């Protein structure tokens, strides 16, 4: 069973490694940004399976190729499905029509009119910005859309006492946090008290990251031979 970190345990360990009091004013002040740095770095370095989510609360309107969703709903949009027939709002009760991602130039060239004669079930989409998507052809009905993508979970805090990262990757989180602490303690340059501090934690972070990347790939059956198996050295002697 994995022994993770609660928020209180995390604060204690970081304070111990940084040789600073847990109640130190400056330390308490940088804690939220330290956690943000550590978590965001890990989220950007690893494509976590657990951050995948779906949202089918949005619908296209007739003749309007644009769909606006709430800012911050998704970090990355992987897939958009149009649900048919248009009277169906639950994707599980209808038929998913996957839309292919294309360029805005393609949509503007091929589907340059929203007139009734040019409408239909959307087949293509393009992100216009972080929360606006364009579709082609323009919808001929009020279709529900199912968006599949990744989201950013709540950060570790006094109220969010455990997270996926703090539970399953506490070692990686500690290393990433200590890189931030190195900057806080100004231990990045040659003339500082411990110029190797940042380098050491950075190298440990990268070493731990390799194992975490392999594990995430295995979860998605993107491991050795597109299976859930880890990379294996060539057997010796080799088979016939």
- pLDDT at position 90, please? 97
Question: Is 125 a residue whose pLDDT tops 60?
Answer: yes
Count of the separate structural domains present in the chain: 2
Same domain? 42 vs 70? no
Within a domain: 63? yes
Order of all β-strands in the sheet with 66-68: 52-59, 144-150, 76-84, 95-101, 124-127, 132-136, 66-68
- pLDDT at position 199, please? 74
Same domain? 136 vs 164? no
pLDDT in tens, 189-238: 444 455 566 678 889 999 999 999 989 888 888 877 777 887 776 655 55
User: Which positions ≥6 away from 193 have C-beta within 8 Å?
Assistant: 185, 187
Domain span including residue 120 = 52-150
pTM over 0.85: no
pLDDT in tens, 22-65: 998 988 999 999 999 999 999 999 999 999 999 999 999 999 99
Which of 126, 150, 174 is the C-terminal boundary of a domain? Answer: 150
> In this structure, what are the phi and psi dihedrals at residue 41, rounded to the nearest 5 degrees?
-65, -45
Same domain? 38 vs 93? no
Same domain? 95 vs 164? no
Mean pLDDT, the chain, rounded, equals 89
């Amino acid at each position: 069973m994995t022994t993770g970190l609660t928020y209180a345990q995390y604060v204690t360990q970081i304070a111990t490694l940084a040789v600073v009091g847990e109640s130190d004013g400056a330390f308490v002040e940088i804690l939220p940004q330290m956690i943000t740095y550590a978590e965001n770095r890990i989220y950007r370095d690893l494509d976590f399976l657990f951050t995948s989510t779906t949202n089918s609360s949005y619908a296209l309107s007739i003749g309007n190729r644009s769909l606006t969703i709430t800012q911050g709903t998704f970090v990355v949009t992987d897939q958009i499905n149009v649900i048919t027939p248009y009277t169906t709002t639950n994707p599980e009760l209808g038929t998913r029509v996957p839309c292919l991602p294309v360029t805005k130039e393609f949509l503007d060239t091929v589907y340059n009119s929203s007139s009734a004669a040019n409408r239909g079930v959307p087949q293509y989409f393009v992100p216009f910005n972080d929360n606006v998507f364009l579709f082609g052809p323009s919808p001929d009905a009020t279709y529900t859309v199912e968006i599949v993508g990744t989201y950013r979970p709540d950060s570790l805090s006094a109220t969010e006492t455990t997270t996926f990262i703090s539970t399953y990757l506490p070692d990686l989180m500690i290393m990433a946090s200590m890189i931030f602490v190195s900057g806080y303690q100004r231990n990045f340059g040659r003339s500082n008290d411990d110029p190797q501090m940042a380098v050491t934690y950075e190298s440990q972070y990268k070493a731990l990251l390799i194992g975490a990347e392999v594990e995430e790939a295995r979860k998605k059956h993107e491991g050795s031979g597109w299976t859930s198996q880890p990379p294996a050295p060539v057997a010796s002697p080799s088979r016939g």
